Amino acid sequence: MAVSIALSVILLLGVEQLRTQARESFAQSISGTDLVVGARTSPVQLMLYAVFRLGDATHNIHWSSFQAIAAHPAVAWAIPISLGDSHRGFAVVGTTLDYFEYFRYGDGRSLGFAAGTPFAEIFDAVVGAEVAGQLGYRVGDRIILNHGTGEPGLTEHSDKPFKVAGILARTGLPVDRSIHVSLQAIEAIHLDWQGGAPLPGLSIPPEYVQKFDLAPKEITAALVGLKSRASVFQVQRFINRYKAEPLLAVMPGVALDELWSIVSIVEKSLLAISLLVVAVGLSGLVAVVLAGLGERRRELAILRSVGAGPRVVLILLAIEGAMVVLAGSLLGLSGLFAASLFAGPVLEAHLGISLHAGLSAETLQLLLLVMATGFLASLIPGYRAYRLSLADGLTPRL
Amino acid sequence: MAKFHSPHSPVSLPRGFFLLFAFLWLASPAGSAGSAAPSGNRDYKVGDQLAPADSGKAANKSSHPAAQATPTTGAPKSAGTYKEKSWDDLMPRNWDPMASLKGLKLENLKDSDPRAMEALEKMREAWSNAPVEPALNGERIRIPGFVIPLEKSGSKVKEFLLVPYFGACIHTPPPPPNQIIHVKAAKPVANMRTMDTMWVSGIMQVRSVDSEFGQAGYQLKAEQVEPYP
């Protein structure tokens, strides 16, 4: 009995925990950025690929557009981001040194280095904590990037290996699972590529790449910080109405709200289903205790005959139900902790959602709610027993 | 034995089950979020403004901020020591962005008259360089508006912009700088979403024009943020 309640509690609290922690980890991922700029698409999609590295970019934007935005008088800083390559399943991010200086997350924390320095040479790379941890990289190691994103087996930029120049401190963000290189390096590894593949018979050795124009031509997205946060509408309008190419600027907070309002229908139905499962579990408990009453008529009648009042019987049965619910809830809670310890790293690696075992006020509230409902439900068989007459239980019927 | 499963049972199982579920649903976050969340914002159309709580205030649009009395009896009790302001109070009294159009007699102009366009351009420029009202600096004010979240911690909002009309920023040209308040909440506010309507009370800080584009503006250190109305 307690097991079925435990399972339903796991489901209910699990759904709630996933919901709140997914929100938290999304909200943590970006701070201090006023606008996210990219090719014109849906605001939610732009946020997903530019900030959370989920899904693929729809299109790139021209470097000249980025320069125009960065030169806008209300803009304090702008970080370019170029996506598209990967290394063993981890995203490669082409950017500038501004990324390490201006990017903020959580409560305005900036990125710190666990080892090494930002990239200085053209083929230097800065890897996130998760990349370094999983692949065992140290400063000075050589790595080879893949063209495209996805599973291994992609074409490699094997002629131009990178050197790990720095390792970032752990953040719990998609940054942990990224490899950062300079925009010039992104240009350099694609110099001898055409039409999505290396040109046959042509290979530009790494020592000669500097002979070519390595100024970035295109980037995927940009993060923009403003001098005054109140001027965000003006800059947003400037970007959205930019004549040279269609661009989209979104305010991260607004886009996240939009995302949650889309997801909230699913969230609510998940919560409704798990509440239903809890209700099924509790009514199963009631049914079992009710059925057991038949077997225990004699027992209860004897209790009554030695002086226990009907109220004592009611309280006894209510306590019994409450104990079962309590045991089930605690069992469920420990099951949930075990599950989040086990599933947490998997979720973090695949979705970038950091799941940690812990009791938030909301989960505690839900748990208390389940226990209170369980106690109320166990009053039902208690009331049945309360109504039984003393004579009923003492008259054997066969 | 059969007697125990007779219809005498006080609450029969299907009904008990239903009650149980209804209770769970109502008491759960989903049930409460569904009813308590200020989802009323769907009722607003683009450009809609919020009326101040006391209806008499709407009439005296051009009254000078300094002349405003403390909240009238109609105001909620939480108004406390805050002066209730309308968005018109945030525009300097003698500022008229329409000045360029007023001197123009539209009926005397020819079609596609360059003077008309010139006046329109001037008006637009006046809007985007709207001046702020320095008298508001340091005042404890209370003002209703629509919310655009900027900075979040978890599901709570720490910083947001307050604008006078629904849909500002998304569908229409942005409001002028003197119609945007950058609010920093003393305590992060839970359950706040884009375009929710809120009363914000706190201390106003006015930053005058910094010669550079878009630097003038209002900042409010919010001590209280509560749902409107």
- Check A257 against B149: CB less than 8 A apart: yes
Q: How far is B72 from chain A (nearest CA, A)?
A: 31
Q: What pLDDT is stored for residue B60 in this prediction?
A: 39
- The answer, yes or no, to whether residue B136 has pLDDT greater than 50, is yes
- Check B169 against A236: CB less than 8 A apart: yes
* Contacts with B5 from chain A: Cβ below 8 Å: 290, 294
d(CA B74, CA B57): 10
A19 in a structural domain: no
Q: What pLDDT is stored for residue B35 in this prediction?
A: 37
**A380 → closest Cβ in B16, B157, B212:** B16
In this structure, of A58-72, A136-150, A186-200, B113-127, the range with the lowest mean pLDDT score is: A186-200
Percent of chain B with pLDDT over 70: 56
Q: What pLDDT is stored for residue A70 in this prediction?
A: 93
Q: How far is A81 from chain B (nearest CA, A)?
A: 21
Which among A203-207, B43-47, B59-63, B119-123 has the top mean pLDDT? B119-123
Q: What pLDDT is stored for residue B32 in this prediction?
A: 45
* Contacts with A28 from chain B: Cβ below 8 Å: 153-154
* Contacts with B177 from chain A: Cβ below 8 Å: 230-231
- Check B30 against A369: CB less than 8 A apart: no
- Check A283 against B1: CB less than 8 A apart: no
Which of B24, B29, B28 lies closest to B191 in space, CA to CA? B29
B98–A contact, CB cutoff 8 A: no
- For chain A, the first-to-last Cα distance in angstroms comes to 29
Domain of residue A334, residue span = 2-11+260-393
Q: Three-state DSSP class for A371? A: helix
Confidence of residue A199 (pLDDT cuts 50, 70, 90): low
* Contacts with B215 from chain A: Cβ below 8 Å: 74, 227-228, 231
Q: What is the dihedral of CA A19, A23, A29, A30, to 10 degrees?
A: 170
- The answer, yes or no, to whether residue A66 has pLDDT greater than 90, is yes
- The answer, yes or no, to whether residue B150 has pLDDT greater than 90, is no
What does the domain layout of chain B look like in residue ranges?
55-92+133-227, 96-129
Q: Where are the beta strands (DSSP E) in A108-226?
A: 109-110, 113-116, 124-127, 142-143, 162-168, 178-182, 193-194, 197-198, 218-219, 221-226
d(CA B42, CA B91): 28
Q: What pLDDT is stored for residue A233 in this prediction?
A: 85
Q: Indicate if A112 and A239 belong to the same structural domain.
A: yes
Q: How many domains does chain A have?
A: 2
- The answer, yes or no, to whether residue B79 has pLDDT greater than 50, is no
- Check A253 against B148: CB less than 8 A apart: yes
- The answer, yes or no, to whether residue A40 has pLDDT greater than 70, is yes
Confidence of residue A246 (pLDDT cuts 50, 70, 90): very high
Pair type for strands B197-207 and A247-250: unpaired
**B177 → closest Cβ in A230, A237, A272:** A230
Q: Indicate if A46 and A135 belong to the same structural domain.
A: yes
Q: Which of A250, A280, A301 is the last residue of a domain?
A: A250
Q: What is the dihedral of CA A242, A246, A247, A248, to 10 degrees?
A: 110
Which among A50-59, A343-352, B121-130 has the top mean pLDDT? A50-59
Q: Indicate if A279 and A243 belong to the same structural domain.
A: no
d(CA A2, CA B105): 83
Query: Which of A235, A257, A261, A398 to mutate to probe the B interface, most B CBs <10 Å?
Result: A257
Q: What pLDDT is stored for residue A352 in this prediction?
A: 60
B79–A contact, CB cutoff 8 A: no
Q: What pLDDT is stored for residue A354 in this prediction?
A: 63
Q: Indicate if A285 and A230 belong to the same structural domain.
A: no
Q: What pLDDT is stored for residue A230 in this prediction?
A: 81
In chain A, the residue whose alpha carbon lies closest to the alpha carbon of B154 is A24
* Contacts with B152 from chain A: Cβ below 8 Å: 27, 253, 256
- Check A233 against B169: CB less than 8 A apart: yes
Q: Indicate if A202 and A282 belong to the same structural domain.
A: no
A294 in a structural domain: yes
- More confident site: A336 or B40: A336
- Check A377 against B173: CB less than 8 A apart: no
Q: Indicate if A272 and A152 belong to the same structural domain.
A: no
Please state the rounded mean pLDDT for residues B44-69: 50
- The answer, yes or no, to whether residue B143 has pLDDT greater than 80, is yes
- Check B214 against A251: CB less than 8 A apart: no
B215–A contact, CB cutoff 8 A: yes
- Check A251 against B150: CB less than 8 A apart: yes
A204: buried, middle or exposed (CB in 10 Å: 19+, 13-18, 0-12)? Answer: middle
CA distances from B125 to A24, B97, B100, B118, B121 (A): 41, 9, 10, 11, 6
Please state the rounded mean pLDDT for residues A314-333: 88
**A254 → closest Cβ in B27, B149, B151:** B149
- Check B29 against A16: CB less than 8 A apart: yes
Q: What pLDDT is stored for residue A145 in this prediction?
A: 84
Q: Three-state DSSP class for A93? A: strand
Confidence of residue B2 (pLDDT cuts 50, 70, 90): very low
**Residue type (1 letter), B172:** T
Confidence of residue A225 (pLDDT cuts 50, 70, 90): very high
Among all chains, which residue has been given the structure tokens 């909301």? Answer: A362
- Check B28 against A366: CB less than 8 A apart: yes
**B10 → closest Cβ in A283, A297, A384:** A384
- A–B interface: beta-carbon pairs under 8 A: 156
Q: Which of residues 101-160 of B touch A (CB under 8 A)?
A: 128, 148-155, 157, 159-160
Q: Indicate if A150 and A85 belong to the same structural domain.
A: yes
- Check B177 against A373: CB less than 8 A apart: no
Q: How far is B78 from chain A (nearest CA, A)?
A: 27
Please state the rounded mean pLDDT for residues A130-150: 84
Note whether B30 and A271 are within 8 A (CB).
yes
- More confident site: A190 or A200: A190
Please state the rounded mean pLDDT for residues B20-39: 52
Q: Indicate if A197 and A302 belong to the same structural domain.
A: no
ipTM of the complex: 0.70
Could you read off the pLDDT of A333-387 as tens digits, one per residue?
Answer: 898 888 888 877 777 666 666 666 667 777 888 888 888 888 888 888 888 888 8
* Helical (H) or strand (E) element with B20: helix B13-27
d(CA A6, CA A330): 7
**B151 → closest Cβ in A31, A226, A283:** A31
- The answer, yes or no, to whether residue B80 has pLDDT greater than 80, is no
Q: Which of A221, A250, A279 is the last residue of a domain?
A: A250
Percent of chain A with pLDDT over 70: 89
Q: Indicate if A73 and A140 belong to the same structural domain.
A: yes
- The answer, yes or no, to whether residue A48 has pLDDT greater than 50, is yes
Report which DSSP code applies to A147.
S
- Check A373 against B152: CB less than 8 A apart: no
- Check A230 against B13: CB less than 8 A apart: no
Q: What pLDDT is stored for residue B69 in this prediction?
A: 39
A23 in a structural domain: no
Q: How is domain B55-92+133-227 classified at the CATH fold level?
A: OB fold (Dihydrolipoamide Acetyltransferase, E2P) (2.40.50)
B212–A contact, CB cutoff 8 A: yes
A223 in a structural domain: yes
Q: Indicate if A161 and A114 belong to the same structural domain.
A: yes
In chain A, the residue whose alpha carbon lies closest to the alpha carbon of B16 is A283
- Check B212 against A380: CB less than 8 A apart: no
A16 in a structural domain: no
Q: What pLDDT is stored for residue A389 in this prediction?
A: 66
Q: Indicate if A206 and A94 belong to the same structural domain.
A: yes
Q: Which of A250, A274, A289 is the last residue of a domain?
A: A250
A28 in a structural domain: no
* Helical (H) or strand (E) element with A39: strand A35-39
- Check B25 against A16: CB less than 8 A apart: no
Percent of chain A with pLDDT over 90: 20
Note whether A172 and A354 are within 8 A (CB).
yes
Please state the rounded mean pLDDT for residues B52-79: 42
- Check B214 against A235: CB less than 8 A apart: yes
- The answer, yes or no, to whether residue A327 has pLDDT greater than 80, is yes
Confidence of residue B57 (pLDDT cuts 50, 70, 90): very low
Please state the rounded mean pLDDT for residues A18-44: 86
Note whether A249 and A235 are within 8 A (CB).
yes
